Amino acid sequence: MSPDYLISVVMTVAIAATPILLAAQGELIAERSGVLNLGVEGMMLIGAVTGFAAATATGSAGLGCVAAALGGTVAALLFAALTLGLSANQVATGLALTIFGTGASALIGAPYVGRTVERLGPLFPAGLASDPVLRVVLGYDPLVYLALALTPALAWFLGRSRAGLILRAVGENDASAHAIGYPVLAVRTLAVAFGGALAGLAGAYFSLEITPMWADRLTAGRGWIALALVVFASWRPGRLLLGAYLFGGVMTFELHAKAAGLAVPPELLAMLPYLATVVVLTFISMRAGRAGSGAPACLGKSFTPA
């Protein structure tokens, strides 16, 4: 196995893991505030089509990413208006958001089917990454570095900052947080909006980098993997990074197994990431007395100010 091949595998894992990590980081913040948003897949699809449309219109993948983040934020705020403003059921509303995002992205993306755009491209100049070893470190697009940088940033935010401690207090005991003067609904709305922005960016990563073209259901269920990953990580940013790259490795195995012509049914290879998700969730559910050890106490519960 040549060094170039190993480098290619490592870089492929990082690229496959990035959209899952971004979406999971956004959902982590939303869930730590006490909100369960099952609409991650829908927000990713809305971000994917919004980013692709903006990149096509402007010729700039960077502006496409900005548009994708805004599109995901708008979808998340719609969810927040229903669940936080009108106390709608969070599970049902999240599922409805996924259905809405799937249909809306197909409708908006119909004129763009089969069209391509320029990729995001690496953050650093190609000359700096000409050496194979340096390419593993410097050969990625900006969103890979953003996802990596967010891991320690979110860990610091949740564990050290006053705003993070308020967010955690809202997620653990919303009534007590409200009693001492914290704006529970405002905190949760901001957390949901942040999750929507990252989900939109994650969706745009598919349409602007992984496969820089538009096709229906481009995210292929990765939003559900991101949701499972939050549980897998016990709501901790560091574990989220490890889990995302683990799933990225599973997806990379699928790609390289197909390229190597292994005598394995392609359907089995395609189901590997989702099979791994089921196995992980089953393992977690079997941890007697510890299955929900990291879950916020108010996760999924509605709150109405007295």
Look at the alpha carbons of 258, 262, 266, 267 in this order and tell me if their dihedral is positive or negative. negative
In total, how many domains does the chain have? 1
| Residue 286 in this model has a pLDDT that exceeds 70 | no
- Residues 98 and 86: their CA atoms lie apart, in Å, by 19
Q: What is the pLDDT of residues 162-209, one digit of tens each?
A: 999 999 999 999 999 999 999 999 999 999 999 999 999 999 999 999
- Residues 22 and 226: their CA atoms lie apart, in Å, by 8
Q: Residue 106: enclosing H or E segment and its boundaries?
A: helix 90-109
Let me know if residue 16 belongs to a domain.
Answer: yes
Q: What is the pLDDT of residue 1?
A: 55
Q: What is the pLDDT of residue 259?
A: 62
Predicted model pTM: 0.91
| Residue 289 in this model has a pLDDT that exceeds 60 | no
Q: What is the pLDDT of residues 212-241, one digit of tens each?
A: 889 899 998 899 999 989 988 889 999 899
Q: Residue 186: enclosing H or E segment and its boundaries?
A: helix 184-205
Amino acid at site 269:
L
Let me know if residue 302 belongs to a domain.
Answer: no
Let me know if residue 202 belongs to a domain.
Answer: yes
Reference 19, options 297, 229, 234; nearest CA is 229
Q: What is the pLDDT of residue 288?
A: 44
Let me know if residue 52 belongs to a domain.
Answer: yes
Let me know if residue 290 belongs to a domain.
Answer: no
The band of 267, judged by pLDDT with boundaries at 50, 70 and 90, is low
Arithmetic mean of pLDDT over the chain: 88
Residue 112: left if φ>0, alpha if ψ -120 to 50, beta else—which one? alpha
Output the domain CATH number for residue 222: 1.10.3470.10
The band of 4, judged by pLDDT with boundaries at 50, 70 and 90, is confident
Let me know if residue 194 belongs to a domain.
Answer: yes
Is residue 203 within 8 Å of 45, Cβ to Cβ?
Answer: yes
Is residue 29 within 8 Å of 190, Cβ to Cβ?
Answer: no
Let me know if residue 306 belongs to a domain.
Answer: no
Q: How far is CA 304 from the centre of its chain?
A: 29
249, HSE (Cβ side, Cα atoms, 13 Å): 9
Let me know if residue 300 belongs to a domain.
Answer: no
Domain span holding position 15: 3-285
